[in-house]
Structure 1
Amino acid sequence: MRFCGRFLCNPCTWQEGGVRQLSFDALIPIFTVPILMVVASQSFTCTVIIFLLSPPLIYYFYRNFLRFIIRTKFFLMWTVTSVLTLLLVFEFSVVPLLEILPEENLVFVICVVGGLVCGYKTKQKACQVTQENSLLQGVELGEGDSEICNICKKCTSQKAFHCRLCQTCINEREYHCKWLDCCVGASNLRWYLTCLLFSAVAFIYGSNLTMTSVCHPFILIGTILLPDDCSDVYHQLDIAICFVSSIYSLLIGLVITFYLIYHFWLLYLGKTANERHLLNNENENNEGVLRNATKLFCCKL
């Protein structure tokens, strides 16, 4: 099976028209995400079980299979599938309930499109850096501003760090984001932060609109609604799917918000995530459960 879509081509050769075979690990999320949502929509118990068991199952699958793939597309395709699935559920199941104003839907769509565009630009900028670095072998930088990378043996900036997944040095590198399958650094940090901002608003706002449409809402302040009673959402499968999608969207939005705040904190400190990681390694012999979970579910430092 071969595809020519930009998302499924080699991330740094799609501009050249390169076509790549879609691997098995990239196909899994396309079927897994919708199936899990349908199963979770059967009852409240199923919802709890799916949301509790999914992270450890992904961890098990990653530790036993995905970590042997140098650059897996599993997490990127999970991102794409999740966004498209949640968007389709919202537009074709939530909006027809006629509980959402047109301007509210417009704001939501703008945030979704903004997140997708900024995410695409983040990945595109990372690919441009990889392509440019492949042409810089042997090129000398300004005196006192460069050094030789011990891994790729190329002349790089003193603030650059080599990414083994991208196989190049990234200036002011933060980390390799698995969900976008690219490195975040000086060239695309602004696009990445904008992507996080749009995405956080889209996921949390979409979750609120969905919950207040399928549950009995109450007025918090002015026209701001919050869900109150959701006890009858499992009586209809389509309503239950909407409710489960809102929970999934809320959880993703909260995680993205955490990383957005984390990056603003790093900007305030004037450091990168990679620099803090190296500093912590100097002060600690082990990394801890939280940092290992961060490596799995977001980034590779």
Structure 2
Amino acid sequence: MVKRLQPGLISGVREPLCCCEYINMHGEKTHILGICCDCEALDDTFDKIFKCEPVPDSTVDKLLSVLGDRLRVPTFFGAGAVKVRPDILTPILVVPSCLYLATLHPVMTIAVFAFMPCFIVFFHALWRRAQQDAPTFFFYSWGLTSVISAYVVFQCFVVAFREVLLWEILMVFTMMLVMFYFLYLTRRNPDLQRIVLKPRQGHKRTQSNMPHIKTMKPSSSSTSITIAETSNMDSNVKWMDSRTGAGKAEGPPRSGFCKICDAYITVRDHHCVWINACIGASNHRYFLLAMLMFIITGSYACHLTFTTICTPTMYFDWFLLPNDCRWLYADFLTSICFVTALYAAIGVSCMCVAFIYQFALISQNVTAHELARARGLGLVSFGGLFAQDNPNNHGLIRNWVDFWLSTSGRSGLDAYKEAL
């Protein structure tokens, strides 16, 4: 019987690994400097590319597996080089590199900003191909890296012009802290529910007749609910009724099942990949506040940046707006400030669109999950933005008061548990 090598255990003798050594997926001791050495999949891939031949899917899968195993960082605790997730490390390397390349020329700025969304789509497709249904931190890492990079550029380069006042710097810093605080509250408690099915009398429950139900481990942030197993969804069931995607089980009122979180969410709105968390009754308010703070902070920081690198002009003795922006690429200091502010402005614009969408949903007391189901049943109007025959819609003012003050998600859940 051959023993597999473990980290720190070489030839049956416990021996600490060097900071750059590790045990690969074949149980062999190797060094991180050999990341591109002795890789048959890499050789085959480039050989096919140079010959203008299609790369087999098996070669691509093998290459991704090898890169995932060899992508490591050194440690100094005797454990050797530890593995790093590619979906976390890639944005940390790509975002600053793209911002730097965009400072070289206006054409490069356009090319880089066109490349970024294409790269995001390509990497995500590649990750789904290799990991299938495994959750990814790629979007969360990309967004976090973008925000931190923009703030670092503001503090290190924009402030260096000595045009921004101290109270303005403190204002940006404070708003950043508030935004991250709301982000922390949003991610802290997504209100996951552990669903336990109670089979019907005389019906044997098997995995074959319930392929969509998965066993979940209890956690401190999850709620355990026992629900009755139901038959297939009736054709008269409306979009606002709480059902699973396959219609096999009836969940709590207005709940939705998230395949990524593998759990039910109370009053589920959607799963936000940019913060890697589900949005439901317990964190929807914090999510909206985080979006609002992102828009305010980004807009204010962009305004300070543009009025610093461009010659500003005062309008109506109140509004200071940039006027002369002819020397944006004169030096690296100016160009990096402009490119980063432009990147932040694009992000703020996208966030404004998402905020308006959330405003429309809350105004009619409907979630994105419910609206998507309503579209599938043709119960929408105005381009699919407004739900028809929505029993939860109590008027604009009442809907917003309920959103901020009531705990409809919790009270609905308690009422459902009492009804059982």
Separation of aligned partners in 1, 2:163 and 2:221: 51
Which of residues 226, 249, 262 is equivalent to 1:138?
A: 226
The secondary structure found in structure 2 opposite 1:65 is helix
Does structure 1 residue 217 correspond to structure 2 residue 312? yes
Which residue of the partner structure matches residue 61 of structure 2? none
2:86 partner letter: F
Does structure 1 residue 99 correspond to structure 2 residue 166? no
Which residue of the partner structure matches residue 205 of structure 1? 300
When the two structures are aligned, how many residues end up with a matched partner?
264
Distance 1:119 1:148, change over 3 A: same
Does structure 1 residue 62 correspond to structure 2 residue 124? yes
- Asked whether the equivalents of residues 137 and 154 of structure 1 are also in contact (C-alpha less than 8 Å), the reply is no
Distance 1:275 1:111, change over 3 A: same
Which residue of the partner structure matches residue 10 of structure 1? none
- Asked whether the equivalents of residues 93 and 238 of structure 1 are also in contact (C-alpha less than 8 Å), the reply is yes
Tell me the CA shift for residue 179 of structure 1: 0.5
- Asked whether the equivalents of residues 204 and 254 of structure 1 are also in contact (C-alpha less than 8 Å), the reply is no
TM-score, normalised to structure 1, is 0.79
Query: Structure 1 residues 176-185 or 93-102, which shifts more?
Result: 93-102
Deviation string, structure 1 residues 14-35 (Cα, Å, up to 9, x no partner): xxxxxx9641111100110000
Separation of aligned partners in 1, 2:325 and 2:89: 34
The secondary structure found in structure 2 opposite 1:183 is strand
Which residue of the partner structure matches residue 329 of structure 2? 234
Identity across matched positions, percent: 27
Q: Mark the structure with the bigger radius of gyration.
A: 2
Tell me the CA shift for residue 158 of structure 1: 2.1
Which residue of the partner structure matches residue 16 of structure 1? none
1:253 partner letter: V
Tell me the CA shift for residue 128 of structure 1: 6.5
Which residue of the partner structure matches residue 94 of structure 2? 32
Separation of aligned partners in 2, 1:152 and 1:180: 29
Which residue of the partner structure matches residue 126 of structure 1? 190
Q: Which has the larger helix fraction? A: 1
Which residue of the partner structure matches residue 182 of structure 1? 277
Does structure 1 residue 90 correspond to structure 2 residue 154? yes
Distance 1:148 1:203, change over 3 A: closer
Separation of aligned partners in 2, 1:177 and 1:135: 21
Which of residues 232, 235, 260 is equivalent to 1:165?
A: 260
The secondary structure found in structure 1 opposite 2:314 is strand
Does structure 1 residue 260 correspond to structure 2 residue 260? no
Structure 1 residue runs of 5 or longer lacking an equivalent are: 4-19, 141-145, 289-301
Structure 2 residue runs of 5 or longer lacking an equivalent are: 1-71, 75-81, 195-218, 229-240, 384-420
Separation of aligned partners in 1, 2:223 and 2:369: 25
Bigger RCO of structures 1 and 2 (CA < 8 A, at least 6 apart): 1
Tell me the CA shift for residue 283 of structure 1: 2.6
Which residue of the partner structure matches residue 31 of structure 2? none
Deviation string, structure 1 residues 121-142 (Cα, Å, up to 9, x no partner): 10111166673575515379xx
- Asked whether the equivalents of residues 25 and 66 of structure 1 are also in contact (C-alpha less than 8 Å), the reply is no
Tell me the CA shift for residue 148 of structure 1: 7.5
- Asked whether the equivalents of residues 192 and 223 of structure 2 are also in contact (C-alpha less than 8 Å), the reply is no
The secondary structure found in structure 1 opposite 2:173 is helix
Does structure 1 residue 72 correspond to structure 2 residue 72? no
Does structure 1 residue 51 correspond to structure 2 residue 138? no
